[in-house]
Structure 1
Amino acid sequence: MEIITATYSFSLVSISVMMAILASYVSFDLVGITWQEKSKQNYFLWLLLSASVLGTGIWTMHFIGMYAFKLPMLVHYEVSLTVLSLLLPIAGSLIGMYIIHYCHRPSYNITAALIMGSSIAAMHYLGMAAFHTTAIMSHNLNLVLISIIIALVASWLAIQIFVTAHLKKVKIHLLTRLIIAIIMGAAISSMHYISMEAISFYQPSALPENNSDFHSGEWFIQGESVFNLVIFTSTLLLVSALFLSQLKQAMKKQLQEQLGLIKVSEQQLRQLIENAPDGFFIHDLEGNFIDVNKSAYTSLGYSKQELLEKSLFEVEVSLTRNEFKEGIAPLLSEGQAMVVDGLHRRKDGSEFPVTVNIQAFQKAGEVFVFALVRDMTEKQKVQDYMQKLAMTDELTGLANRRSFMEKLNKYLYEAYKTNTPFAVAILDIDHFKQINDTFGHDIGDLALEQFAQHTKDFFRQEDTVARLGGEEFAVILPNCSIEKALQLTDDFRQLVEQYALHFEERSLQFTISIGLSYIQTEDTSLDATQILKQADRALYSAKESGRNKVVLFDNEQDSLIADSPETLSKTQ
């Protein structure tokens, strides 16, 4: 038989090798993306795409190489075997990649290489079986064996590169990836062209009648049609896969940059929290501290480790474990934020007021509490000071009318509750207008200050002394009999009468009038205003009857004053 001389289209050979290199490059990137995918569903999708790209790229190289092989006769391809030859390298790549990802042993790498290499070799020779022509095909077994060995070695080489680059996380730059793709593409292509070199075609002595080989019931297509289809679909697949891999890498890079920024932000936030003037606490729903910042443990007098060994309920003395579990924890678990006032106890036992902002959060399915604690000591001092200003007479430092009325209401409530009588006295400096007119308002203010101090010093510690306004003062005498109240007020009247205020080599003496109201607990109809009005009426009676005396309010006096509108207007 006469041997048929075949030729190659070197432009198509170049294209086939470039397709193998492109497929190697794209699949290299796709494998890296696949093995880093955390989602199981996405992992299998990327794995299938990677195997499809590598398998299709190898098959495309093979088919373009077949088309580059020119015989001086008509060539057809059997459709079923051609399609099967495409599926083999895809399946082999899929199984091989799966094995080396989940089985990290050298023996499994060899197994994967055998599967991938065998599928590539089977793809080639199955593709040759789909190659139909009138010539007789013969194989050189030595070259066939060499081509199979090259397929196995190329597969093993690809696997080692994949494992080194992606599983061992060795960073490979663009130029290195290109070199790797060229080596892999050249190795895969050399297998094909050596196996093609193993084939010889002979001219049969007689041509088959009616080309019966092409009418045996199988589907056949001509090489040019297949070539056009292969070039279009494989190029579309490879370019799409390359685009997806680059898009994924770009998204990954962007995500890493964002994560880097987040990490920096977290570090900055942690630093801000650590150095914040307010205390930051993280604890679980049992009250066990998980983390605290510097302000938290220094404000309580502990070291950080000491405080972490404590519980919330050893620090927050105004809250019990049951109150937290039954009242606060359920609301926090529902996502509600809360602001509560509390009282913290230091290591030395001292306590200080705090305001706590509480918010719950979840981590790994467990609920934790984040608490921002602000020391309210200074604010409380300011509030106390402002409260004192609101309740204190500016000139004398005594309680003012507002404070006096609040305390009178309190004493009245306690007196009715405990059946304990008490007295209220109103003290007024006699002829104080003349003092101001004669000596001036500065001396008048000095007289008021001195009188206030004497009043405070004279009466009992449990008594309340206040300035109602002008030269008028008042005293609450709790738990006091009527005889004791009269004795105390008259003794003080006599003390003031004997006292002289000295200034600028001059002296000033004055007297006071006192109206006294005694509250009997049997009469629960009286309120604070009525009691003060009774004392004021008694004071008016003392003034009208000559001054410098103590007058006790009684019902007859009340009736007498009430009958005189002029007298009422003066007392009011």
Structure 2
Amino acid sequence: MNHLTSTYHIPLVILSVIIAILASYTVLHLSVRLIKAKPPARYIWLTAGAFAMGLGIWAMHFIAMLAFQMAMPVSYDFGMVFVSIIPAIVSAALAFYMISRPDMGNRQIYLGSLFIATGIVSMHYTGMKAMIMAADIVYDPILWTLSAIIAFVASVAALYLLKYVSQNAEKPGINWFKLVSSIVMGFAISGMHYTGMAAAKFMPHEGHQHIMTQNIDSTYLAYGIALGVLLLFGILFISMFVDRKFEYQAISSELKFRSVIESANDAIILANRDAEIISWNLGAERMFGYKKDEAIGEKLQLIIPDPCRNNINSFLFENISDLAGSTTELTGLRKNGEELPIELSLAAWGENGQVFFSGIIRDITERKKTESKINRLVYRDPLTGLPNRLLLNDRLKLAISQAEESKKNIGILFIDLDRFKNINDSLGHATGDLLLVEVGKRIKAAIGESDTLSRQGGDEFIILLPQTDANELTKKAQKIIDLFSQSIMIREYELFVTPSIGVAMYPVDGKDIETLIKNADTAMYRVKEQGKNSFQFYAPSMNATVSRKMLLEIGMRKALERDEFKVFYQPQVDVKDGKLIGVEALMRWMHPEWGSISPAEFIPIAEETGLILTLGEWVLEQACVQNKAWQNNGYQPFKVGVNISSRQFQHSNLVEMVKNVLAKTGLAPEYLELELTESIIQSSEDAVVKMQQLRDMGIHLSIDDFGTGYSSLSYLKTFPINTLKIDQTFTRNIYTDPKDASLVDTIINMAHNLDLKVIAEGVETEEQLRFLEEKQCNEAQGYFFSRPIPAEELEIVLAVGV
């Protein structure tokens, strides 16, 4: 029996090939998205790709069948037609699954191609079975086999092309490669179909009644299917375009994010749940010393375990919910074993069913150094490094709080160094500073670890002893005194200093910081008054003396304004003829309530508080004004002597101040004599310079209280002085103590040999005066001639003569 002849509707044939090419091009694009996507997006693209490729192959097949025309009517069993779609989709899904596997090799490609080719062949010949016609189909075995081979070869080529395109998506010219590959794949798929159709022979049979189940124009149906498939491809292309746009945005954001991470000075580290590092930036390399390839995938010990925890990583991960969003200070560990302080910020997130951690680690070495420096500046004495007043107050506040709970005592030792001022002034501040440092070390070594030694300033130290008693305080105080029985070597000097220690206890001697320290200070001053180099417990009776000193200090500050200070003058006479040759200006304080206050009581307070600078300048000006007034009133000119205190002499503007006073009052310099003590000039580094400047102005200079200080014969020839004043303690005893008489005689002879004048203080009897006259003393002053008197009374003396 002859088979039926057939023809093809060429436009539909061309359309089927175009559909195959478009399907191939779509599939190649989808393969790129599939490789780049991560679950669950990968599964979505795999499903979309399987449907696109399967429907594309099926559409090409069905349109080609609709293009096939025979001499008899042909209809289709659409149930069978739709069944034929399943093998196409399954084979396409298999193809996408194969390329999504990272381990796809040649063996997998050929095995997968076999299954894909089987699916395509099954789809084709299942579709052929859907043809309803009055004829039987007989296949040419050779062409049938050839169609299967074409399907296999096309599958192999498709998988290789899909693999290549997915792995080289970013290479230049890949789009042209995809276009050419799509054409090759399209023709290969079409070739398989048309080869299979060529293998079919349609044998009509007689007596078979053909039943038309469908009556649809095949051309319109073909175009409709083509349109539907093209719409599907269009949707897929739009989806891929949108996805790619988002991908580019994500890549751009990731690149920006990565650049920020890499440029950060902080270490930014990502790790999985098992603490394996998955991201390591340059900041981490610099901070910890591990290169990226040394860190990725490893569990590095970057943090020193807390002594309370065996595994720091377990601690961090177990407490991530508490630590996330906060910062924790820990100790880091570099590759070389070096430790560093770090600040760690942790975060956690989930992705694809896994938990990941990110950590931002900051090296806070410099911050710790700065904090330490600030701590030293704020809480430490810059010279000795000991706690300062602020830190002592903090620790004392804590100690008081603990003592309240434990019902224990607290001890305060207030230490002041005896004779430190002399050392500091005579040897210089640099030596004094070194001495203070050494003293701090010596005391520090003598106290317990729980005790606090603080420097309050100058040569004052305070020791805080928590949880102690009177017996323990006594032992500590005596131990400190014993420490200073040995000398301290500073540079080439062997120095001796002794401590005066005041002791106060909480709560007996005060229940607050201020009271405790004040009372310990008060007890220390009592030690000073009683001879120094000892210790004294505070007693309430001591406050009476302190209160008196405070009242005097307050009173002095107001006394100048209220004209309570007066200048008295004591005559100085020539021993030979008894004529008045000068006066000494002496300050007196006439308080409206307390009466006359002795200079021996208020002058030391003025020295201590610095008020002596104001008072001293006032006395100098008053004395110069008065002396000039006497001269203006016609009295014979004479010198007025004014005492210069230690604080005044050390002040930098002394010479300028004296010069201004003389200029202001109009008194000639030769009628002013400045009286200096031995200790003043010996403790000043620039004493000679100052004295020479004063002497050059024409001012007379005298050494007051000569013989009572640390006298040195060398300074008598060095310092530009005019007069020596013999202290009254020697003068009063010249008839009762032969040694004092010898000393006075020696001083007079020595002064005359040095071409210096001598004036004796404290002359009270005629016998004393005769002794001085016999020894050829130049001048004398004392009660024998006159007590210190106001200027008004002295004018009477001037008028009648002494």
Normalising by structure 1, what TM-score?
0.64
Say if 2:432 is the partner of 1:427. no
> What is the SS of the residue equivalent to 1:320?
coil
Whether contact under 8 Å (2:273, 2:356) holds in the other structure is yes
1:340: which partner in 2? 328
Equivalent residue in structure 1 for 2:19, among 1, 23, 34: 23
1:136: which partner in 2? none
> What is the SS of the residue equivalent to 1:459?
helix
Say if 2:559 is the partner of 1:554. no
Say if 2:90 is the partner of 1:119. no
Whether contact under 8 Å (1:424, 1:518) holds in the other structure is yes
Say if 2:159 is the partner of 1:166. yes
Whether contact under 8 Å (2:140, 2:200) holds in the other structure is yes
Equivalent residue in structure 1 for 2:445, among 455, 461, 466: 461
1:91: which partner in 2? 83
Distance 1:488 1:111, change over 3 A: closer
Matched letter for residue 390 of structure 2 = R
2:369: which partner in 1? 381
Whether contact under 8 Å (1:337, 1:360) holds in the other structure is no
Whether contact under 8 Å (1:426, 1:516) holds in the other structure is yes
Distance 1:514 1:387, change over 3 A: same
- Please give the alpha-carbon distance, in whole angstroms, between the structure 2 residues aligned to 1:182 and 1:557: 118
Match runs of 1:130-169 below 5 Å? 145=138, 150=143, 153-154=146-147, 156-166=149-159, 169=163
- Please give the alpha-carbon distance, in whole angstroms, between the structure 1 residues aligned to 2:256 and 2:372: 40
RCO higher in structure (CA 8 A, sep ≥6): 1
- Please give the alpha-carbon distance, in whole angstroms, between the structure 2 residues aligned to 1:169 and 1:159: 16
- Please give the alpha-carbon distance, in whole angstroms, between the structure 2 residues aligned to 1:295 and 1:533: 54
- Please give the alpha-carbon distance, in whole angstroms, between the structure 2 residues aligned to 1:236 and 1:120: 20
Distance 1:435 1:257, change over 3 A: closer
Say if 2:523 is the partner of 1:538. yes
In proportion to residue count, which structure has more helix? 1
> What is the SS of the residue equivalent to 1:115?
helix
Matched letter for residue 517 of structure 1 = V
Superposed CA deviations along residues 77-125 of structure 1, whole A, max 9, x for unmatched, are 7xxx7352x55455324314525754946765664355234234335x5
Equivalent residue in structure 1 for 2:391, among 403, 411, 414: 403
Equivalent residue in structure 1 for 2:305, among 301, 312, 316: 316
Say if 2:66 is the partner of 1:63. yes
> What is the SS of the residue equivalent to 2:9?
helix
> What is the SS of the residue equivalent to 2:445?
coil
Whether contact under 8 Å (2:113, 2:159) holds in the other structure is no
Superposed CA deviations along residues 48-100 of structure 1, whole A, max 9, x for unmatched, are 4544444344333443453xx7x9xxx9x7xxx7352x554553243145257
- Please give the alpha-carbon distance, in whole angstroms, between the structure 1 residues aligned to 2:490 and 2:51: 110
Q: CA deviation at 1:15?
A: 0.7
Distance 1:555 1:381, change over 3 A: same
Q: CA deviation at 1:18?
A: 0.8
Calculate percent identity across the aligned residue pairs.
13
Q: CA deviation at 1:554?
A: 1.1
Match runs of 1:163-202 below 5 Å? 163-166=156-159, 169=163, 171=165, 173-182=178-187, 184-185=189-190, 188=193
> What is the SS of the residue equivalent to 1:461?
helix
Matched letter for residue 119 of structure 2 = A
Unaligned runs of 5+ in 1: 1-5, 130-138, 203-212, 504-508
Q: CA deviation at 1:516?
A: 0.9
- Please give the alpha-carbon distance, in whole angstroms, between the structure 2 residues aligned to 1:430 and 1:105: 104
- Please give the alpha-carbon distance, in whole angstroms, between the structure 2 residues aligned to 1:333 and 1:398: 43
- Please give the alpha-carbon distance, in whole angstroms, between the structure 2 residues aligned to 1:18 and 1:189: 12
Distance 1:56 1:529, change over 3 A: same
Whether contact under 8 Å (1:425, 1:474) holds in the other structure is yes
Whether contact under 8 Å (2:396, 2:464) holds in the other structure is no
- Please give the alpha-carbon distance, in whole angstroms, between the structure 2 residues aligned to 1:182 and 1:348: 64
Equivalent residue in structure 1 for 2:221, among 230, 234, 259: 230
Q: CA deviation at 1:174?
A: 1.6
1:14: which partner in 2? 10
- Please give the alpha-carbon distance, in whole angstroms, between the structure 1 residues aligned to 2:117 and 2:464: 104
Matched letter for residue 60 of structure 1 = I
1:474: which partner in 2? 461
Higher mean C-alpha displacement, 14-23 vs 521-530? 521-530
Matched letter for residue 225 of structure 2 = S
Distance 1:298 1:537, change over 3 A: same
Match runs of 1:239-278 below 5 Å? 239-247=230-238, 250=241, 278=267
- Please give the alpha-carbon distance, in whole angstroms, between the structure 2 residues aligned to 1:279 and 1:244: 41
Which structure: larger Rg?
2
- Please give the alpha-carbon distance, in whole angstroms, between the structure 1 residues aligned to 2:522 and 2:24: 106
Superposed CA deviations along residues 426-447 of structure 1, whole A, max 9, x for unmatched, are 4277796x999xx7xx977447
Matched letter for residue 63 of structure 1 = L
- Please give the alpha-carbon distance, in whole angstroms, between the structure 2 residues aligned to 1:91 and 1:258: 42
Whether contact under 8 Å (1:391, 1:403) holds in the other structure is yes
Match runs of 1:470-549 below 5 Å? 471=458, 473-476=460-463, 478=465, 481=472, 483-484=474-475, 487=478, 514=500, 516-519=502-505, 523=508, 526-541=511-526
- Please give the alpha-carbon distance, in whole angstroms, between the structure 1 residues aligned to 2:376 and 2:446: 19
Whether contact under 8 Å (2:288, 2:334) holds in the other structure is no
- Please give the alpha-carbon distance, in whole angstroms, between the structure 2 residues aligned to 1:431 and 1:260: 75
Higher mean C-alpha displacement, 54-63 vs 530-539? 54-63
Higher mean C-alpha displacement, 408-417 vs 21-30? 408-417
Distance 1:402 1:500, change over 3 A: same
- Please give the alpha-carbon distance, in whole angstroms, between the structure 2 residues aligned to 1:279 and 1:256: 24
1:207: which partner in 2? none
Higher mean C-alpha displacement, 532-541 vs 248-257? 248-257
- Please give the alpha-carbon distance, in whole angstroms, between the structure 2 residues aligned to 1:159 and 1:369: 48
- Please give the alpha-carbon distance, in whole angstroms, between the structure 2 residues aligned to 1:462 and 1:351: 34
CA RMSD of aligned residues (A): 5.8
> What is the SS of the residue equivalent to 2:15?
helix
- Please give the alpha-carbon distance, in whole angstroms, between the structure 2 residues aligned to 1:514 and 1:268: 67
Matched letter for residue 413 of structure 2 = V
Q: CA deviation at 1:294?
A: 4.5
Distance 1:82 1:269, change over 3 A: farther
- Please give the alpha-carbon distance, in whole angstroms, between the structure 1 residues aligned to 2:49 and 2:533: 107
Unaligned runs of 5+ in 2: 36-40, 96-110, 166-176, 555-604, 610-802
1:449: which partner in 2? 433
Distance 1:568 1:552, change over 3 A: farther
Superposed CA deviations along residues 170-226 of structure 1, whole A, max 9, x for unmatched, are 556323432443454466457768979x78999xxxxxxxxxx99x9x7775xxx72
- Please give the alpha-carbon distance, in whole angstroms, between the structure 2 residues aligned to 1:145 and 1:323: 77
> What is the SS of the residue equivalent to 1:555?
coil
Whether contact under 8 Å (2:481, 2:498) holds in the other structure is no
Distance 1:244 1:155, change over 3 A: farther
Q: CA deviation at 1:532?
A: 0.9
How many residue pairs were aligned?
A: 504
Superposed CA deviations along residues 281-319 of structure 1, whole A, max 9, x for unmatched, are 84747x7888876557649xxx969x9577688x32345
Normalising by structure 2, what TM-score?
0.48
Whether contact under 8 Å (1:343, 1:353) holds in the other structure is yes
- Please give the alpha-carbon distance, in whole angstroms, between the structure 2 residues aligned to 1:249 and 1:392: 69
> What is the SS of the residue equivalent to 2:369?
helix
- Please give the alpha-carbon distance, in whole angstroms, between the structure 2 residues aligned to 1:542 and 1:179: 113
